[in-house]
Amino acid sequence: MDSNIKNNFFNFSNSKDLTAIIKSDTTISYQDLFTTAIQIADSLSGKGIKKNNYVPLLIEDQLKLIETVIALWSLGAVPVPLNTKLLDDEIYTIIDDYNFKFLITDKALSPNLHKKDFEIIELSKIAIIDSEVKSISFPALDNEAVVIFTSGSTGKAKAVVHTFISLINSIENGNQIFNHPEKDSWLASLPFYHIGGFQILCRSLFSGCSIILPQSLQTEDLAESIMGFNPTHLSLVSTQLERLVYQKVKPSESLKVSLIGGGFVDDELMYEADELGWKPIRVYGSSETASFVTAISAKEIKTKPQSVGKALKNVEIKISDDSEIQIKSNSLFKKYLDDDKETSSNLINGFYHTGDLGFVDDDGYLFIEARRTDLIVTGGENVSPIEVEKALLQIPGIQDACVFAKPSKTWGQIIACAIVVENASLNEKMIRENLKQKLTGYKIPKQFFFVDKLPRTSLGKLERDKIRKMF
């Protein structure tokens, strides 16, 4: 191993007695996990994937995704996990926007995608030779490790690039909360295509923890894994926690901490969860910060209602004159892929400009007063209102549209829209059916408001704040 690589995600690759994966009735050791991953890497190398390639992954099977990520890392390639809920057109738009050359998948894709100008590699069809692994190539810490997509204000998905060191720094900053030894266990309770889910994978590999893979991310399957495998660590969005609390699911005493983030988290929900033994910690962060940068326990919230907590070590929070929250940390992203303008406008003098508004009180606790107006966070999923508005305006009979968020205890936020129609016969059901052809389900508004006119500025821009207040 290179002397300057003391800590990385390959630390336990030769550990045959340490459990890496727990899935149903199966356990997989770290050594076996990495052996399979390197064999997959050999096959992917034969397909032409090489160092520095950005490789989108559309993989539903959590174990296959983990193996493929490790395989790409060993080749020096960069995994780009995609939201598995995306429609074909959305997948193609991303691949076309960034000129990706490959797509690795375990899904049955439509024939139309197979006709496009990139190579689709189906995991079920690649040859994996059961041979002895002779050596593993360790990635350098400053190598790019992952690209995570987050919605942008223009409707085009922003591609957040992290290095191994930024991911590791985030892990080490958070260890003031976790402090987990080997043989702790994380439940893979969030999708790996979100930074919160991807860091579950990274924290586990880095620390020698077991990753518990549930049958699905549905509440019943999460509850079954929590009660059956007794994870020591969880990471949930408010929607998941609310459903588990509503069903009175109680974790075992082995649970050390539950991270609760991904948008608005109600104070009362935190109190209820704490009483049930969830040991919840409300956190605040983003894809750009490699997961959370502040944290607060349920007990602290009782003295600091609505706060998202204090900054972690190696994190500096600055509030600008116009109340924008700006973050400096050794876990910040490297860049937005193929977007120097967006990078330079968001990373300024070492600070990430979040676009969120808030303040820090005299005791150092951060409060969020408004989420960035260009983003809706519903059930832990990021949605660009611009993208939804464009889809609405493509429907014949819709003259104008404004998409906005409404608070929701269950979802954090829900998507609502105010629309102006030219054809009075156009109803909500017809609009929903049309949107199903254009958008994945979680992006479709849950509430529709029909209006005669939408307020706009003298320059023709929607007055979003005014519209939001109308409803």
**Residue pLDDT, tens place only, 236-278:** 998 899 999 999 999 999 999 999 998 778 899 999 999 999 9
163 pLDDT above the threshold of 60? yes
Q: What is the DSSP string of 250-261?
A: ---TT--EEEEE
> Which fold is adopted by the domain 376-470?
GMP Synthetase; Chain A, domain 3 (3.30.300)
DSSP assignment string, 294-310: EEEEHHHHTTSTTEEEE
Query: Region 299-321: what's the mean pLDDT?
Result: 96
CB atoms within 10 A of CB 383: 23
- Tell me, what amino acid is at 306? Q
As a whole-number percent, the residues of the chain with pLDDT over 70 amount to 94
Amino acid identity at 68: T
3-state helix, strand, coil split of the chain in percent (to 5) is 30, 30, 40
Q: Name the strand (E) or helix (H) holding 80.
A: strand 78-81
Residue 2 has pLDDT above 80, yes or no: no
**Percent residues over pLDDT 90 in the chain:** 72
Please state the rounded mean pLDDT for residues 185-202.
Answer: 96
Higher pLDDT, 438 or 156: 438
If we measure between CA atoms, which residue out of 312, 342, 315 comes closest to residue 326?
Answer: 315
All structural domains of the chain with their residue ranges: 19-370, 376-470
pLDDT at 276: 96
pLDDT of 342 strictly over 70: yes
Average pLDDT over residues 212-234: 95
CA distances from 149 to 91, 103, 119, 193, 198 (A): 12, 15, 21, 8, 12
pLDDT at position 1: 34
What is the CATH architecture of 19-370?
3-Layer(aba) Sandwich (3.40)
| Cα distance between residue 465 and residue 382, in whole Å | 19
Q: What are phi and psi of 108, to 5 degrees?
A: -85, 105
For the segment 341-370, the average pLDDT, to the nearest whole number, is: 94
Burial 356-374 (b: 16+ CB within 10 A, else e): bbbebeeeebbbbeebbbe
Single-letter amino acid code for the residue at 411: W
Give residue 458's pLDDT.
53
* CA separation for the pair 179, 170 (Å, rounded): 13
CB 87 within 8 A of CB 391: no
- pLDDT tens-digit readout, 40-99: 999 999 999 999 999 999 999 999 999 999 999 999 999 999 999 888 888 988 999 999
pLDDT at 182: 76
